[in-house]
Structure 1
């Protein structure tokens, strides 16, 4: 373990107790450093979200943690074994120390409550001593931090754009200033311009508040742009872990090379993928066939 480690995952395994059992996460070992963005990449179904839920102890039956340990190295100097926490201790740990922006979070807001009420619920639960005026002030500041006006506190979810709803969810995850934020495909449903704006805001907030991020997505080029290090996951295992630059320039695992080659180049030959798919010379007829398929 390095001196700047925030989270250490050792031989962590999760099994879905179906018939037959499915090993969704297989002896995963990872270390997250303070202040870094660690990207977790892999195809759908490889175990990324299951790993994130397991770390936060949010798994529901038939998913069962079958091995390993997750240790949170608090800024106070205390090492916290997440698996050993009681239910009440785990409830206090979440959002205070580690928060999560869930997959599909853009649609996770309650449609019948105003945004301000939903943000205030975090403080009502975890900071019961705060006055109503203090909660309102904090909620307004949170919205401004993520680039949403505090006048939106009285708005409902349907009155916000997709990008604004995503920003509200990020604000909610930041409310208690956690040391760790896990983001599960937070930009998948957004168009590319809004996506870039959200990613820029996440990077700014990370530098401003010093928290660490586990950013989960199947979009490897996106991770290459924002991550300090990237872990590539396949069939429940981490098959490669390296800095974003080295992973891009010299990938070691065949699966990583496959992921990198699955995205078209903006400057390369547009016919490369047609040729690769058909294994035939590129002609006008083959292009027409591909376009009409």
Structure 2
């Protein structure tokens, strides 16, 4: 096993008689931890950076619990998840199991995000850990989280990375033959581009099934954990979010065009593009190239 039974119980503070065979530890780590931090590095951290190792281990165990909730529910009369009524035990109702799962998930996300932030301060791991190589180069997890709450969810960030990569590719195609490296070398233009991508991604994410907009930010939707209706934004509020960030994206796109027009000496490729008749097209849904 990746962790011993004693490690599992100590990391999660579960009762000593809890049967750790209820969870598929390998699946938890293979699906949630090792795609971001390889098993070789995980094992190395046990001796080199124990604090980071323990945070990753806690996250892996807790994710395994969350992913195995259906299996745990089957055994619920024999193990661990009980509800006390008048000094007697009874099967916990599904909403209590869900709330316990959400609590586990919140802790797992916290420990994983904490470990990755710790790794980000280690120069030698910054180039070898897959998480950093898979991140969006212009907007890190922490930077996006500062702009709009991700609730420590790395899954939410990587779903947004997919959107941001598509937005970035479209942006580059639409500004051809200009080199976006020249754009990014200009700090003002770089910040406008980052603002455009973040806001456009948030607008597009409102229609993305795997993300849920909550009153506290964004969450990743697990089939095992239907979110409470009390914290999920209403259709009306979601439409308002979508429109707000689409307008913000349009604002930054306008700023990009104005900046390029006012600094054509710095960007001769754009000046040539202008002479060829490229224009902003304003439509009902926003600005288009």
Q: TM-score range by the shorter chain?
A: under 0.3
Query: Greater Rg, structure 1 or structure 2?
Result: 2
Higher share in strand: 1
- When normalised by structure 1's length, the TM-score is 0.23
| Bigger relative contact order (CA 8 A; separation at least 6) | 1
